Structure 1
Amino acid sequence: MAIASTSSSSAGDDFSRFTSRRIGAGTGRDRVRTVAWNLDGRRLAAGGTDKSVRIYLPDKDVRSGTECRGHTGDVSCVRWSPVHPERLASVSTSGQDKGLRFWDIRQGSKPTSVVETHGDNITMAWSPDGRYIVVGNTSDRIVWIDVEEQKVVKRIDKSVETNEALFSHSGTLLTTLCHGEAEITSFPAGELVHKVVLSDMPATVADLDPRGRYLAVGSNDTVVSLWETTDWTCAATSGVHDDPLRTCRFSHDGAYLATSAGGNEIVIHNTPTLSRAATISTTAQSGDALAWHPTRNVLAYTSGQDAWIWGAGV
């Protein structure tokens, strides 16, 4: 079992009481690549190289989950609806599996619908009102999907490396990482509002804190940076990782930022200083995905063949 090492925490959490617990029984040689909590925090979805999406009830039975089949390629990203606790969507990194699949766990383990994209999908963001999904792929192509109409309504081909995209909490802005910059556009008009130079190297991952005050960014230069969204100045940086950042996620209250660079540890930072609050030592390579519980300081993460949760008394 993985245990967190601790230092002082500005939010007062006693991380010495936090432990990690494996979710599910593993999938042989397959790797878990994505995890996500649903709207009410009762369910955890995981997907990976076994081409399935599994739904777990972490507070009840963690030994097995409901297996949802429909993908023909590796599941690279899963996201729950922001407005409905039983609905979710998933995409595959496969060039042959081009479908954005929608699921409703009340209707069984098969997709309820499929919207064809261009494949090789690696990122996905769901607008706060549940109306749109933005999907990005390895060819730096972004598509907007209208969830209600079940169709692609816009395609954007970028000329530079393009990574994570995320919505503002109001849903009126979309921030996209384009090489070392953050491009902020109005949504759905798509007009450029602001551009922020973040790094000399590609920025790969980002997250917006729950109040919308800070944008956290991880890049290929191994640095984590925190940007104030009022004047777009850099509030803090951290160089605790030795490799390019793989993911960064704020806790539900914004007090902490979890980051990973694909090694055998996940770092929990205090915000806004980015000082180290705790370290989670993982049993296998981590870093594909992190997801904080929507109301508690419980972190789900991927590590090798399994999904794990870390918290007090989990």
Structure 2
Amino acid sequence: MAPAPRRELLHKDHFAFVFGSVKTQNYLDPVSKGPGSHTIRTLAWNPTGQLIATGSADRTLRIWNPDRPHVRYSTELRGHTAGIEKALFNPVRDAELASCSADGTVRFWDDDTLIPVSVQFPSSPTTHPDGVNALNLPSSTPGATTYTALDPHPQTVQTNATTFSWCMPTPERPEQHVFVTTGEGKVKIMSYPSFDIMHTLNAHTSACLSIALAPTGRYLAVGGSDALISLWDTTDWICRRTLSSENGGAIRGVSWSFDGRFIVGACDEIGCGGNGLEIFHAESGDSIYTIPTAGVNAGVSAVAWHPSRYWLAYSTTTDGPGSSSAGGLKIVGAAGGGL
């Protein structure tokens, strides 16, 4: 698949006008196994932005074509026996996807077929997150399908989220960096795969829950249970600013636009989505636009910017007690094909 062409960069003063004029496309999966069970917990675009994966609490892992919103054009991947906690496409292979589940396994999928490898962790990452586990992914050799689990590195406090630097190892610098958020409000910067601690950021006054590196590499965004997103300059590891939504609530997911200019956070607590989904300009910290979200009691369970367009995918939680369906996948901008 050829990647979508990158658009002209959007100025923050024009953002509200542009986003206010585009439509939101809904992608409804009719399958539901009880109130809240089908809430989408994770969203992931493939490298070209021509596919998007959704993982739900009812163990449904589905691949969507953004141009064809009906569920019959999607592909359901079966194999997990519990809720999907995280899904992620291989950044250099369009059709390869990894998924992590509360059943204690990470599964790898390729061309809609399960690769015959399922890495079994000693316990579920969602119930026992007090360690750092990692996978040694296969080389780029055609046909390579061997995945090796690295040794776990137990931590003294709960680990909530991790992300890698995207710079490639070199002979002079053979290790990468991995960023780890903790339940005590810190972010550990570790070398990978040795997991030696290089630096520690005192990021928040309460638990750090989510983390994302800007595509430009300029900022590291950290979401906390204190309802703040902190932006850390990667050149000197100083916090340049914090972002706060009017809706409050713990920030369980953060996502950057492809140009690193705009950032959005996800809060799945009831009421967080009542006033809409706020988008911030990273450099100024200004709240520049709020996407209306249906349901005054809804929360936003997941967000993900498109890798090369100003399209924003998100999902809401149930609209309140007794509701039998979640908000499903929504993509702002996909309906018109612009941006």
Q: Same fold (TM over 0.5)?
A: yes
Instruction: Report how far residue 99 of structure 1 moved.
Output: 1.6
CA deviation vs aligned residue, 1:178-200 (integer Å, no higher than 9, x gap) = 22111111112222211111112
Please state if 1:116 is matched with 2:120: yes
- Determine the structure 2 residue equivalent to 1:17: 21
CA deviation vs aligned residue, 1:147-179 (integer Å, no higher than 9, x gap) = 224221120111112111111121511111122
- Does the 8 Å CA contact 1:143/1:155 hold for their aligned counterparts? yes
CA deviation vs aligned residue, 1:72-117 (integer Å, no higher than 9, x gap) = 0011111001110010010112xxx222100012xx4445421111
Matched position secondary structure for 1:288: strand
- Determine the structure 1 residue equivalent to 2:68: 60
Matched position secondary structure for 1:12: helix
- Does the 8 Å CA contact 1:145/1:154 hold for their aligned counterparts? no
Taking the aligned partners of 2:159 and 2:147, their CA distance within structure 1 comes to: 24
Query: Which among 307, 314, 317 is matched to residue 301 of structure 1?
Result: 314
Query: Which among 140, 144, 150 is matched to residue 134 of structure 2?
Result: 144
Instruction: Report how far residue 71 of structure 1 moved.
Output: 0.4
Q: Over alpha carbons, which structure has the higher Rg?
A: 2
Identity %: 29
Matched position secondary structure for 2:20: helix
- Determine the structure 1 residue equivalent to 2:47: 39
Matched position secondary structure for 1:277: strand
Matched position secondary structure for 2:205: coil
Q: Which amino acid aligns with 1:142?
A: V
Please state if 1:255 is matched with 2:266: no
- Does the 8 Å CA contact 2:25/2:69 hold for their aligned counterparts? no
Structure 1 110/19 Cα, relative in aligned 2: closer, same or farther at 3 Å?
A: same
Structure 1 115/308 Cα, relative in aligned 2: closer, same or farther at 3 Å?
A: same
Query: Quick check: which one's strand share is greater?
Result: 1
Structure 1 155/239 Cα, relative in aligned 2: closer, same or farther at 3 Å?
A: same
Taking the aligned partners of 2:151 and 2:229, their CA distance within structure 1 comes to: 31
Instruction: Report how far residue 62 of structure 1 moved.
Output: 3.5
- Determine the structure 2 residue equivalent to 1:245: 251
Question: Normalised by the size of structure 1, how large is the TM-score?
Answer: 0.85
Matched position secondary structure for 1:59: coil
CA deviation vs aligned residue, 1:191-250 (integer Å, no higher than 9, x gap) = 221111111211111111111111111111111111111111121112224111121111
**Count of residue correspondences:** 288
Instruction: Report how far residue 9 of structure 1 moved.
Output: 5.6
Q: Which amino acid aligns with 1:84?
A: R
Counterparts of residues 150-165 of structure 1 (less than 5 Å): 150-165=147-162
Taking the aligned partners of 2:252 and 2:58, their CA distance within structure 1 comes to: 21
Q: What is the RMSD computed on CA atoms of the aligned residues?
A: 2.0
- Does the 8 Å CA contact 2:105/2:124 hold for their aligned counterparts? no
Counterparts of residues 280-295 of structure 1 (less than 5 Å): 280-284=291-295, 285-295=298-308
Question: Normalised by the size of structure 2, how large is the TM-score?
Answer: 0.79
Q: Which amino acid aligns with 1:302?
A: S
- Residues 266-275 or 25-34, more deviating: 25-34
